[in-house]
Structure 1
Amino acid sequence: MPAITVENPLSLPRVVATSEQAAAARPVRAVTTAPKGYEGEGFPVRRAFAGIDYRHLDPFIMMDQMGEVEYAPGEAKGTPWHPHRGFETVTYLLDGTFVHQDSEGGGGTINDGDTQWMTAGSGLLHIEAPPEELVVTGGLFHGVQLWVNLPAADKMKDPRYQDIGGGQVKLLTTADGGALLRVIAGELDGHEGPGVTHTPITLLHATVSPGAEITVPWRREYNALAYVLAGRGSVGTEHRPVHLGQTAVFGSGESLTVRAADSQDAHTPDLEVLLLGGRPLREPMAHYGPFVMNSHAELAAAFEDFKAGRLGRVPATRV
């Protein structure tokens, strides 16, 4: 980790917060630690947003860090066929391979550094599974899945996929080249990522060298979160300590500050952190299992449609 990198970050466009933005740095509201659990057929996850008030997450719903796990032969696991309606799943793979398939014939394979953005919209069935070769041989698997809520007006749109190859992400650095910033979706300091979103958000993966500090501009109307994928460091100008599996919730302001500890470990040479935020929808949310709607009546309708087969059927030829 990570798969997408460059030999010389100083060859990239540089992101620098203005003095006014830096002066309006966002304070750290809270730091939470993700509990560990299992998803699907039994692959390990960290529940990144567990315990965080939804007011600070909106428009995000949940996020799981999948792995990091080194599978032995025969151990690799995925999810069984399951339905979704009313939101988007964003699967960002750091190491390994994952295969997606849906009831309409969509999906695809993502590898190291790739992102698959699935807009469930009005609903479908889908499956996420390791490829046969990973099951047979074993190997490293590590990724993140983020759920992004859809506005009420878009919840019943037709499903859509975006396959974002690792080579498509916008690569940036900081003034001193101490960090590599990969913009997957949204905008950072005028630089656009490739992901197309219904809900305005920014999602980026930063690799911060030991001892380096980044201060990046952040839209005032967006909320702001930082999740540590690996390593240790601090967040905010108050230098609140963070480490693997922790999420920092920022308050209002115009910039975010993250610093990597001076020393890391041999397995994790840098601080790896996801920075994400979006414009809150501020709409009622009814969430149960695989459905995210605006009312309990809409949730009930989603379950009825699923039982009646109106969200699709598992194809005869499947993963």
Structure 2
Amino acid sequence: MPAVTVDDLTVLNRLRTPGLGDQPRPVLQVSTAPQGYEGEGFPVRRAFAGIDMRHLDPFIMMDQMGEVDYAPGEPKGTSWHPHRGFETVTYIIDGVMDHQDSHGGGGTITNGDTQWMTAGGGILHIEAPPEWLVQKGGLFHGLQLWVNLPSNDKLVTPRYQDLRSGEVALVTSYDAGALVRVIAGEVDGHAGPGATRTPMSFVHATIEPGARLDLPWSVDFNALVYVLSGQGAVGVDGRPIGTGQAAVLGAGDYLTITADGSQESRSPQLDVVVVGGRPIRESIAWAGPFVMNTKAEVLAAYEDFQKGRFGQIPVV
């Protein structure tokens, strides 16, 4: 799992340990992601399926894409499609993905890079492996997170952010047993490069076997932990959690994740994603690629898309 790594974690800044009076976040729910296919047929795990939207707010959904090792000719992506009313965050752990959209955004991301697209009032985009990768084949593994926008930001001008792995804030736990990558938001004063319209934090952590991560977390954010690979436990009461499972945490000052002392050879560490944000607490009307507040707004989005108001597919 390349992402961005550091050979010697002891050279990194360390997260503070929980202080006197700091409250750990309890585990409210653990769910297992169902598997399916998306786009042109690439495999996904629906990371947050089965979790009440009240616990997800301000997030809509998250897909773990892969992990899959494609043979030549097999790599797949998506066709051109529209979005309105939210942001898509595409984080590539292994492999290469190209992005292009109707507002001029685009680029190629690879190990540890992130594409942050604010769909806002409406955008057309495509995500696909480059042609050389389709011919060659190779490993593909990533995430796509959908972040809701509040009603007053639903129709903002679309925006594209290209976040490189070298920009990610890197810190470690107090005993240097975990590498914490802050991609967006802030954790214990360490800020990631992603600019968010909805206040939130997005972290990818790799925890060594037997190590424990006490992660300070904003008290006004919710908190969700998803296991990319490995086995461990979440919460101070040690609730077991493993590959493809998500944990919903309650209120508190910090969250605790512990890696089992013995891991499988394919996943020698515990890799998790932690996301949280300030709940928007507004009604949601969600249909396919549009996330709005009312059914009428969703119908208007379909009409605007059908009438070509989301921009034009660029000529290659």
TM-score, normalised with respect to structure 1: 0.98
Moved more, 201-210 or 10-19: 10-19
C-alpha separation between the residues in 2 aligned to 1:125 and 1:312?
Answer: 7
C-alpha separation between the residues in 2 aligned to 1:207 and 1:154?
Answer: 34
TM-score, normalised with respect to structure 2: 0.99
AA matched with 2:74? E
Tell me what 1:6 maps to: 6
C-alpha separation between the residues in 2 aligned to 1:57 and 1:21?
Answer: 27
Tell me what 1:153 maps to: 152
CA contact (8 A) 1:227 1:246 kept: yes
What secondary structure does 1:69 align onto?
strand
Instruction: Report the Cα offset of residue 21 of structure 1.
Output: 5.5
AA matched with 1:123? G
Distance 1:4 1:139, change over 3 A: same
AA matched with 1:264? Q
Instruction: Report the Cα offset of residue 17 of structure 1.
Output: 3.2
C-alpha separation between the residues in 2 aligned to 1:127 and 1:293?
Answer: 21
Distance 1:170 1:21, change over 3 A: farther
Instruction: Report the Cα offset of residue 213 of structure 1.
Output: 0.4
CA contact (8 A) 1:21 1:254 kept: no
What secondary structure does 1:303 align onto?
helix
Instruction: Report the Cα offset of residue 219 of structure 1.
Output: 1.2
Tell me what 2:121 maps to: 122
Tell me what 2:16 maps to: 16
The C-alpha deviation readout for 1:143-171, integer Å capped at 9, x for no partner, is 00000001111111111011110010000
User: What pairs with 1:22-101 in structure 2 (closer than 5 Å)?
Assistant: 22=22, 24-101=23-100
Tell me what 1:217 maps to: 216
C-alpha separation between the residues in 2 aligned to 1:15 and 1:107?
Answer: 34
Unaligned runs of 5+ in 1: none
What secondary structure does 2:10 align onto?
helix
What secondary structure does 1:20 align onto?
coil
Tell me what 1:243 maps to: 242
What secondary structure does 2:55 align onto?
helix
Instruction: Report the Cα offset of residue 246 of structure 1.
Output: 0.2
Instruction: Report the Cα offset of residue 218 of structure 1.
Output: 1.1
User: What pairs with 1:164-243 in structure 2 (closer than 5 Å)?
Assistant: 164-243=163-242
C-alpha separation between the residues in 1 aligned to 2:284 and 2:21?
Answer: 33
% identical equivalent positions = 63
Tell me what 1:108 maps to: 107
What secondary structure does 1:305 align onto?
helix
Cα RMSD (Å) of the superposition? 0.9
AA matched with 2:16? V
AA matched with 2:41? G
C-alpha separation between the residues in 2 aligned to 1:98 and 1:241?
Answer: 33
Unaligned runs of 5+ in 2: none
C-alpha separation between the residues in 2 aligned to 1:184 and 1:17?
Answer: 21
The C-alpha deviation readout for 1:56-94, integer Å capped at 9, x for no partner, is 000000000000000000000000100000000000000
C-alpha separation between the residues in 2 aligned to 1:156 and 1:211?
Answer: 47
AA matched with 1:135? V
